[in-house]
Amino acid sequence: MARPRRIVLVRHGESEGNADDSVYEREPDHALRMTPTGHEQAAATGERLRALFGDDSVSAYVSPYRRTLQTFRDLKLDPARVRVREEPRLREQDWGNWQDRDDVRLQKAYRDAYGHFFYRFAQGESGADVYDRVGAFLESLYRSFEAPDHPPNVLLVTHGLTMRLFCMRWFHWSVSEFECLSNPPNGDFRVLRLGDDDRYRMDRPFERWTTPEPYDLDG
């Protein structure tokens, strides 16, 4: 099995929805574009990733949302060294089609009180649903490692919550651990590096906004 030396997770650059949440009332979430700031963020990330990958080949998977596809293009990776696939299982958490800003703000308040992993948006998904489809994607990713010529780098261009849930699934974090972590900034990335002991370690942790509550499996 040709396990990659690196798995890189990139959050898309700033989108219209990040800058103005009223846009969700007029535009579908999947169709939102990046802002000029978002393009700058993606370009800066691309410069760092090109230095990281060097002349190595890359297997890339990109969420089908417009802002993630734009982010991938702005990375300006060498197309001769990159095999790219659109991967719907890496999409944003579904919020339920058109969104009313006041209703979404109320639901976010409910989610903060209820828990980000288990709270389900009306007509949308819970964090647990995203976790399940990320798990299904991981099964496909593992199978791809069986190819003897698999590239030494894997790149995922996705969304903040999906990044955290990918790492939760990969590293077997508890729900309590997940709940205490914040999304990375727009355009930021994390690198999972394969060590000499054949285990992956993340280059930088996600920021914590609280301390995870202890959980007694026998209680």
pLDDT score at 13: 98
Mean pLDDT of the chain, nearest integer: 93
Question: E-strand spans in 16-127?
Answer: 58-62, 82-86
CA 193 to chain centre: 17
Q: Does the annotation mark 12 as catalytic?
A: yes
CB 34 within 8 A of CB 42: yes
On the question of pLDDT at 82 being above 90, the answer is yes
Q: Look at 11-15, 76-80, 96-100 and tell me which has the smallest mean pLDDT.
A: 96-100
Whether the per-residue pLDDT at 96 is higher than 90: the answer is no
Q: Which of 12, 39, 116, 159 is catalytic?
A: 12
Active site residue 16: no
Residues 197-211: tens digit of each pLDDT: 999 999 999 999 877
Catalytic member of 92, 125, 177, 179: 92
Which parts of 87-205 are beta strand (E)? 153-158, 189-194, 200-202
- Residue spans of the domains in the chain: they are 6-202
59 pLDDT higher than 90: yes
d(CA 111, CA 51): 39
**With a threshold of 0.85, does the pTM exceed it?**
yes
pLDDT at 217 over 60: no
Query: Right CATH number for 6-202 from 3.40.50.300, 3.40.50.1240, 3.90.320.10, 3.60.15.10?
Result: 3.40.50.1240
